Structures are given as C-alpha cells and as structure tokens.
Structure 1
Amino acid sequence: MRNQYQRETKRKKLNERRKKMMRRRREEEEEEEEEITVKWAKHYSSIHQILIVGDGDFSFSLSLAYAFGSAFNIVATSKDSYVSVLKKYKRAKSNLQCLKELGATILHGVDATKMKYHTELRMQKFDRIVFNFPHAGFKGKEDNMRVMNLHKKLVNGFFKNASRMLRPYGEVHVSHKVEHPFHKWNLEELASKSSLIMIECTNFSIEDYPGYNNKRGDGSRCDQPFRLGECRTFMFRIGDIHKKKRAEEIAVSNPRPLESFVSENLPPIFLYDVKGIGSTIHYPLRIGASNLRTREPSNYGFDACQEFWGFEYPLNGSYERYMNEAHRYSESDYLNRMMR
C-alpha cells in the first residue's frame, strides 16, 4: 500500500510539473507573438525603420508611435533646435516627452538638404523616409516664381539626400498640396533627378493620423494650422527612369494585350495590383514572369521585357506589403496566392 501511495504521489507531481511546463511554454509563445505582431498606420508599419523629416511639433511622429504602441522604429527630426521648437509650439514639450517614453530617437537641427551627412544619420538606412508638406517659409506669394523656386530647391535637396538613405525597396513619401500653384512644383520631375521613380500617388487625409496637427512652422503664426485642401501622398522608390520611360513609350505606341505574355514557354501567371495584394480580386492585372528576381530579356523578347519593367515597381511593392502583414508569411505563401 505504501509503495502504491508513493507511486501515485510521484505520478501526480510529474503531471503537475508537466502542466506547469506546458503553461509556461504557452505563455512564452503568446509573449513572443505579441512582440512580433505587426501594426499598421496607413502606409507605415511597426517593422519599418522610419525617418520623419521636419515634423513641426512632432505630432505626426507621435501619431505613428501611438498606433504602433512604441516608437523604437522611429527617428523624428526637426530643422529647429530644441529651444526653438519649444518656443514655437505649445504642445511640443509634451509630444517630445511622450515620444521619448515610447522609445523614439529625436534629433534637432537636421537640415533636409544635408541630412545624409548628419552625425546620427550618415550610417543609417530606412524603409520609409517621410516629409509632410515641405515648405521653405512664407517669403512672398506662393505663385511667385522666386518663392516657388525656393520650395523646389528644398524638395530637390531632400530627394537627393533621401535617395541615398534607403534600404532595398525603401520608399520616400512626400505629402503635398495639389491645388494651384502647388502642383507646379512637379514633384515627380524633381524626384527623377535623384533616380527616384513614383510608384504610387494616393489621397492624403489627416484623419488617418489621429493627433497629427499640421503647422505653418514659420512667422508669427507658426503654431497655427494651414489649410490643407486637396492633398496627395507621393511615394517614390529608387529605379531606372530610362527603363520606365521606355516601357511607357512602348505601352502608348504599341499596346499589347496582357494575355500575350502567357505562352507555353513562360511559367506561372502572377496577379498584382499597384495598391497591393488586397485589391487584386477587384482589379487584377496578369503578367507572365519566369523569375521575380532575374527577369532576363531572353525569356520574353525585347518588347515583352520592356513592358514588364514598367510593372516591376508596383509588383515589388505588392510583395513587400504582403510579407509585412504578418511575421509568419513566407515567399511560398505569396506565390501560392498569386498563382492560378
């Protein structure tokens, strides 16, 4: 009886120990899952390394930080010194304090036209570089050519620096008014001088970023908001502008049915949309591709290759956005979803 009692006691202890180990393992898995959950705020995710340029009172950076639940992936900058920022914006001090508590890197005195050489930035690369409503200051009427050239000089210098600070498939985002006379800045042309190609242009809505307050940033009313009107977010990536232009010329002068890409000699068909995987059901484009990485002209013939290059950038964007949706997604998941 005694031996049986001892065996039963030992068995119970082993079961309890096993249950504790399983419970601990589940807790660790849940913690790990929480740690790597990807959170999104419009075009930006918690796994993107993000540089925000000229953030005024730092409310845009804080809006992203709140959406992500942390700011360890955010580098927020201002051209003004810390003292100037506090003098200009009444909410700046509290915004900066919150960003620090959430883990953001905060830099002051960062010139957008020279930021590549800043001590804290020259060795860094980013997935997203954001400049909302770049403006060289209120130095006259906005439709004055001299004033407009000052604005364009600022944006041109920003593009030149940002293009050298991107990770592979990284993007430069500029939110900008598109009403007269702001549309005359011609952001796409300015970006092309730095080998940046526009991959998407989408409506900007300030409601997408709770807590963000756009500021004039200059003059006696620096802490006041400016009228937004019709705005867009322009998205750019490093690319070959000549290949893009060539692809556009071919598409206009000699359009081909997309079905013509499909033949017995070409492998699977991929579906994609410039807005990402989520909308492929509604507006799919079909294109044959032998390999997402090699794309050799011999696989297609000259014309087909040129047309394919015109689609390369949105295809890459679609792939990246899908892969960033969840940490367990793999390339095979993407291919399986895209293939018919």
Structure 2
Amino acid sequence: MVPRRLLLVGEGNFSFAAALSETMEPNSTLTATCLQHPADLAGNPLARENLRRLRERGTEVRFGVDCTQLANAFEPHNRKFDRIYFNFPHCGRKAGVAKNRELLAKFFQSCADILAEDGEVHVALCRGQGGTPADKPQREWHNSWQVVAMAALGGLILSDVLPFSCDAVPGYKCTGYRSQDKPFHVEGALNHVFTRSLPFEDSKPRIFRIKLGDKCFSFLEPEALAGKLNRGFLEASSCHPIKTINEKLIAGLGSAFPLKMLKCSCPLLQQESTSVFPSWNSDILSAFWVNLYEHNLNCKSLVDETQEITESLVSFSDRIFARSPRGNGNKEAPEGICEPVKVCLRSSLLVHVQAVIQAPDFLPGSLNILSGPVFRKCHISPFTMPAFHETLVIFGVNQNLKHHCLLSLLDHLKATLESLLTQTLLEDAKLSSSVEFALQPNGIDYMIHVKSPKFGLDCAKDLIIGSVITSAISITHKDQCFVIISINLDLLTMLIWNISDWRILWTFDNRFLKNFVPEKIAPFKSYSLYPPCYVHDISFWLNEKKGFDELEFHTVARAVSQDTITSIQLLGRFQHPKTGQISLCYRLTYQTCDKALTQQQVALRQLQFRKEIQQQLHVTPR
C-alpha cells in the first residue's frame, strides 16, 4: 500500500481534521493548517478539544498558514502532498463572487507548488457556487465562482464531483469565516476533485524521416496535424480502444466469411495518385500536402537539425522522387538537398483498392481487410476530425452471386455493429443505437448511419460511420465484381463508449487508456469534467482578388489553436454600401477536453489567429 500525505487548509475548529484522523489508513499522515493563530482559537472550546485529540494522535498542526502561499509553509523537500482539502473557502463577510474567485485562483496556483504528480485537490463548495452542471440548480456562469476556470490557472482539471455530506464525516461541524459560530448552508454542497493536467505547451510540428537504401528523406508535419502522425494506435503493442474495436469488428465479420489481413502502406501519396472512385477527386481537394526532401548527407546529421526524429516512419519506392539537383526557378538548392517532391497524406484508404485487387495474391470470396490512419482537412465540429482510422473491406465475388453475397455481408455487418454498440449499455437498458444502410441516389451504394441518442445532441443522432460501395465498375478482374466497405473506426469507438469529443482519442494523457481493459468494454468515464468555454468573435474584410476558402479558414484555426477551438459559427456577412467590400464575422468557441485552458491562453491564441489569417488567407482583420 502506497503511503499518502494529506493536507488540510482553512481549518476552522479542526473538527474535520479530527474526524478524518480517526478514519485514516495506518500508513497515511495528516497535516492540518489554518490561517488563525493559537490565540484566535483560545475562546473556542470545540477547537481546543479537537486540537487536543489531534495532538494525541501525533497529527501535525500548523497555524498562520495562508492557503494562497502554501509553498512558503513547507520546506522544498516536504512539499509533495497526495491530497489537499479545502472545505467551503470564503473571503468572509459579504465578499462577492469576484473576491471568492480570486481566492480560489490563488489557492489553486499555490497547490501546484506542493501537489504530488498524481495528487488530488478536494474543494467543497455550497450549492450553486461551483457553476458547473453538477450544481442543482446551476447558477449562471457570471454569478458563480467558476471553479473549473479558476483551477485551470493552477494547471488543474476537474476529474470528479461528489455530494458533500457532513454525516459521512462524524463529528465534523462546519463553521463560518475565521471560525465564526454561524455555519455555511451545506445542503446540496458538492466536493470537487481536481487533478493535474498535462502541461499546455505550444506543440511544434515535428520533422519525420524516412530511409530508402542509403538515402534519407524528411518532411514537416502539417501544423493542423501536430501530434497526430505516427501514433501507432493499430499496432500490435497498442492497447488503444480504436484497436480493440477494429479487432472486434473484424472478428465479427470473420465469423461468417474467410479473412485476409493486409498490411497498410505508408500514408504518403504521389501527386499523380488516382483512384477509381469519384469521391477521391473531391477528397484530393481537402488533402494535406507536404514537401518531401532528399538529403544526400549522412542521416545522423539530421539529428542536430531537428528536435524529434522518427525512424523509418514510412517506406516507399525510389521512383517517386525527383532527381533534379536544382531548387525552384534559378535558385540553387541548399548543398546536399535535392528539389523537394510534393506529396500528400492520404485522405482515404480507397486509394489503395486498385492495387489490392490487381495484386497477384488477391483472394476473391474472402474479405480482404486493410486498416490505417487517414488525414483530411475538414470543418471544425465535435464529430468531424482531420485524422482518424479507417478500416476497408474489399470483397470480390462472382457476378452471378453478387446480390446474395451482398445481402449476407450487410446482414453480418449490421449484426456486428449493433452488437458492439450495445456492449456499454446497462443490462436492463433497451437498445439505444440502430444501424441503417441508407441507399444513395445512384441506387447501388449505401451510407452506414447510426441513430443514437447517447450524446443528446441533434448532430449526433444520425452519424455516418462509413459507406458500402458496389459501383466500382471501372475495376475489372476476370469475371469478378466488388463490394467495398469503409468504416470510420474513430466515430464507431466514440459511439460505443459514449465519447462526445474525438480529440480525447488522441490525448497523450495516460489516464485515458486506463479506462480501457483488454477484452472488455465498459462505460467510459472522463477524467476532465465540465471544461470551461471561452467565446471570441472575429471579423475581417475579404480580398476580392484572392477569394476566400472557408475550409482553409477552419484549417488555420485548428493549427493556431492547437485543436482548442470546438466550434466556428458564421454570425453575419456585411457589404459596404460605398466600396462594395465584403466583411465576414465568425464566432469561435474555445474548449479543451483533456487539459487546463485559461482565458489568458485563449486570448493569446486569438491574437495569433488574427495575424495568421491576414498572412495566409490575405484578409484584413477589423
């Protein structure tokens, strides 16, 4: 059993400390502190009795401890506490919400100096004070203590909210400010549990390296995809829920059809890459493009030039690289570096279908399965993502058996998906998700819809998690016809575990993976509750000659904000009556799902966003 160090601040009559000391585990230690000095408590018989009990048990008691300067009360080697308790903080008298917010903010910032890495901060607040949806009733944000926003200033996130009951702590008697006899009203009080957030650092795009023979190539990760490349969620060593769902999906299909698993190639494609599917022509417009550089120098020299190198991220043929030693125009390329080749990150695994079918070892009658990450520019919303994992099922059947095989495949796919979607429901719950195959206007292709009320949002009630394509008429392979199924694994995972924000799937916080046990699907519990929202508006004049690409606007917002913008809403369009110039106004909502985000950090990102759209989109901010 790991020893725990507990710290109590703002103790009034020390009744909470006395009660807690009687229920502590043998290897735990307790330090009880208060702002008052011993003389201030001399006239309080209850406080004197509690102090006597604490001293008999060897509990450390400290007086004159300011909860906003906790580091000053402890030596550097004695500062790491596993739990810090602050019950019903208050500035006293008729202090308003602003003063009490300031107290909380300084307290949380002070906690950051003495809290253990995996420690918790417990703050009990009266009904409605916290300003979170856990309060019943919930106060308006401006009239609350905004506890999650104040905690963010100390790098802390709200990880749990529990009812606070004095009856659960026998002997505890709540007192008012500075041990006044008048207690706080604790009916409906809540205990807020905070934990450390990962540091909110500016993530710089990484440089990735690939090796072909004795030559090295490198490319810069797109800013909008920072932290998304080469994560290995589907690798054998991974325990990520996306991998779990992919394996269960494939196993469900494999119970009725023979399988052939294919190894996914690198996500980089040549500019000339084409697909037999019309959708790829539109996807190419939303693709992320990167410049691939060949380095004739020894690969080890790159280590000094980059902060992060990934060995053998991808591998592909030498034939895609230009061999021109010159740069653009008449300028000479830097010594040792050839002219860059423009390649894109694949936006769908459909681009590999032709190669799979034409391969000598393609197996008709089997489900040929390919899984891997894909990347595409998209508008910002909770259920659209610039990076996700796709599973592709390629099924070749005889023309005469197509109809029967298609029906059988769809039946098994529907049964497998519905089985997965109901695994996190309670035993007595009714089926809350249903899978439908919506026939497309061409009369032969389908979109896979999931109707689910889990999220309680209109946009989530009918999510498209994939497609079924039977119209690949330009693919010829003897007398075979083909059925291709595409599944968005990330969206499917979100639906199964009731995860309402795709960004949490990409978190670097290890607490996310601790929610998931191999071979078991249980409801997901977030470790970051009720993160605060910050709203900013931005308006700008358009450049008539350059035009305006709203998709690029969202992409720049995603990159600059580091995926902290959750919504972009067009508020209005204005045309100047004299000049005819057009102005657009958008509302941006900032919120994180796994980190502590402050108003100050948001303001800096908003300022940077104004600069970036002026440079990249050629607009003039107003």
**Unpaired stretches in structure 2, ≥5 consecutive residues:** 132-138, 202-231, 247-309, 314-371, 375-386, 389-489, 491-501, 520-622
SS across alignment from 2:42: helix
Taking a change above 3 Å as real, the CA distance of residues 238 and 108 of structure 1, as seen in their structure-2 partners, is: same
TM-score by length of 1: 0.58
2:114 matched residue in structure 1: 165
Any residues of structure 2 matched to 1:27-46 within 5 Å, and which? none
Task: Give CA-to-partner distance per residue, 1:158-203, whole Å, 9 cap, x none.
Answer: 1010011111211111111232697510100001111111111122
Any residues of structure 2 matched to 1:308-319 within 5 Å, and which? 308=505, 312=509, 315=512
**Is 175-184 or 199-208 further displaced after alignment?**
175-184
Q: 2:184 aligns with which of 226, 229, 233?
A: 226
**Unpaired stretches in structure 1, ≥5 consecutive residues:** 1-35, 39-46, 141-146, 244-260, 271-285, 289-295, 320-334
The reply to whether residue 198 of structure 1 matches residue 158 of structure 2 is yes
| Distance (whole Å) between structure 2 residues aligned to residue 287 and residue 201 of structure 1 | 30
| Distance (whole Å) between structure 2 residues aligned to residue 84 and residue 121 of structure 1 | 29
How far did residue 223 of structure 1 move?
A: 2.2
How far did residue 313 of structure 1 move?
A: 6.8
2:332 matched residue in structure 1: none
TM-score by length of 2: 0.33
SS across alignment from 2:82: strand
Any residues of structure 2 matched to 1:87-166 within 5 Å, and which? 87=43, 89-119=44-74, 123-139=78-94, 147-166=96-115
How far did residue 139 of structure 1 move?
A: 2.8
How far did residue 268 of structure 1 move?
A: 4.2
Any residues of structure 2 matched to 1:269-308 within 5 Å, and which? 303=388, 306-308=503-505
Any residues of structure 2 matched to 1:212-223 within 5 Å, and which? 212-218=172-178, 222-223=180-181
User: Contact (CA 8 Å) 1:199, 1:313: kept in 2 or not?
Assistant: no
Q: Which amino acid aligns with 2:190?
A: R
| Distance (whole Å) between structure 1 residues aligned to residue 66 and residue 373 of structure 2 | 46
User: Contact (CA 8 Å) 1:77, 1:108: kept in 2 or not?
Assistant: yes
1:17 matched residue in structure 2: none
1:7 matched residue in structure 2: none
Any residues of structure 2 matched to 1:43-58 within 5 Å, and which? 47-58=3-14
SS across alignment from 2:170: coil
Taking a change above 3 Å as real, the CA distance of residues 180 and 158 of structure 1, as seen in their structure-2 partners, is: closer
2:147 matched residue in structure 1: 187
Highest CA radius of gyration, 1 or 2? 2
| Distance (whole Å) between structure 2 residues aligned to residue 306 and residue 121 of structure 1 | 37
Task: Give CA-to-partner distance per residue, 1:125-157, whole Å, 9 cap, x none.
Answer: 1000111110000135xxxxxx22221111111
How far did residue 267 of structure 1 move?
A: 3.6
**Greater share of residues in strand:** 2
| Distance (whole Å) between structure 2 residues aligned to residue 267 and residue 66 of structure 1 | 44
How far did residue 225 of structure 1 move?
A: 2.2
How far did residue 57 of structure 1 move?
A: 0.7
Taking a change above 3 Å as real, the CA distance of residues 66 and 187 of structure 1, as seen in their structure-2 partners, is: same
User: Contact (CA 8 Å) 1:72, 1:105: kept in 2 or not?
Assistant: no
Taking a change above 3 Å as real, the CA distance of residues 195 and 287 of structure 1, as seen in their structure-2 partners, is: farther
SS across alignment from 1:160: helix
Bigger relative contact order, structure 1 or 2 (CA pairs below 8 A, ≥6 apart): 1
SS across alignment from 1:168: strand
SS across alignment from 2:61: strand
Q: 1:84 aligns with which of 31, 40, 45?
A: 40
SS across alignment from 1:91: helix
| Distance (whole Å) between structure 1 residues aligned to residue 169 and residue 510 of structure 2 | 26
Instruction: Name the % identity.
Output: 26
**Greater share of residues in helix:** 1
| Distance (whole Å) between structure 2 residues aligned to residue 300 and residue 107 of structure 1 | 55
Task: Give CA-to-partner distance per residue, 1:79-120, whole Å, 9 cap, x none.
Answer: 000111232x32111111111111211000001111211255
What is the count of residue pairs matched by the alignment?
230
